[in-house]
Amino acid sequence: MKHKGISGAFRIFRTILVYGLFMLMILVWAFPVIWVILTSMKHRTEIFTIPPTIFFTPTLTHYVDALTGNDILPGIVNSFVVASGATIVTLLIAVPAGYAFSRIRFPFRDRLSFFTLIAQMAPPIGLIIPCFLLLNRMRMLDTYTGLIAVHMTLTVPFSIWLMVTYFQDLPSSLEEAAMLDGVSPFNTFLKVVLPNAWGGIGVTAIFAFIESWNEFLYAVVLTGSNTKTAPVAIFGFLAAEESRWGPFTATGVMIMAPVIVVALIAQRHIVKGMTMGATKG
């Protein structure tokens, strides 16, 4: 009986420890986000109060200031256009490419697969100057098309590998049965494979959209007044003379909000997408 009591107490202690560590991890991630949200709703004088005020009367003044100045609203629109365009074009490339890499044997398949992996690992800072010179020569600086094309260097390689792992998890018996019935390879892909791959396509679209939405380095160099995205426009509130932290944090909340909402709604699918092929033997 004494042994059982010790064992039970150890299990309770282990459970408390595990949940305590999980709560600590969540708090470490959530604290900066919560702090930004609270700061965005404080009056200007309360932002700089030491010690910080926890209980205060919320205000939406900073959100109004952010949306009426510093190109924030056009920046959000630009970010949405660029992220949506990059996501759509990425899917048009990554879905058939992922299927080809996972199902079809063709010349240079392994080399192309390795090249895709290398492209995913390439540091963006090393591509800034070549991208700038190329877009400048093609007169595509400060255009949606140019920025979408550059963002695809980030979204396409990862999306291809994500779709490869998803297609590898799909049973090939469905395609074999369709081909035995005389269905062409293209119609098999279109009418048999795609309807069973919507889950993976959705996860890939979410990751591609978030990657393009949050991208800053390319956007700050390759955009101007016409296509300035929200992550670039937000820095208009910071200056050497005075930094407007209220509108700055309010804009940060508006930039984070779509990503957080999408992540909460599709969290089950995102986790599934991140673990695709993890247990495949």
Tell me what pLDDT residue 278 has: 45
Query: How sure is the predictor about 81, in pLDDT bands with cuts at 50, 70 and 90?
Result: very high
Tell me what pLDDT residue 4 has: 57
Domains in the chain and their CATH numbers? 70-274 (1.10.3720.10)
Residue range 150-201, pLDDT digits in tens? 999 889 988 998 888 888 888 877 777 877 777 777 888 888 888 888 878 8
Strands (E), the chain: none
Residue range 198-225, pLDDT digits in tens? 878 888 888 899 899 989 989 999 988 8
- C-alpha dihedral over 148, 153, 155, 160, to 10 degrees? 130
Peptide bond into 51 cis (omega under 30): yes
- Which residue bears the tokens 């240079």? 108
The residue among 117, 96, 86 whose CA lies nearest residue 208 is 86
Identify whether the C-beta of residue 220 lies closer than 8 Å to the C-beta of residue 232.
yes
- Enumerate the H helices of 41-71 as residue ranges: 44-47, 61-67
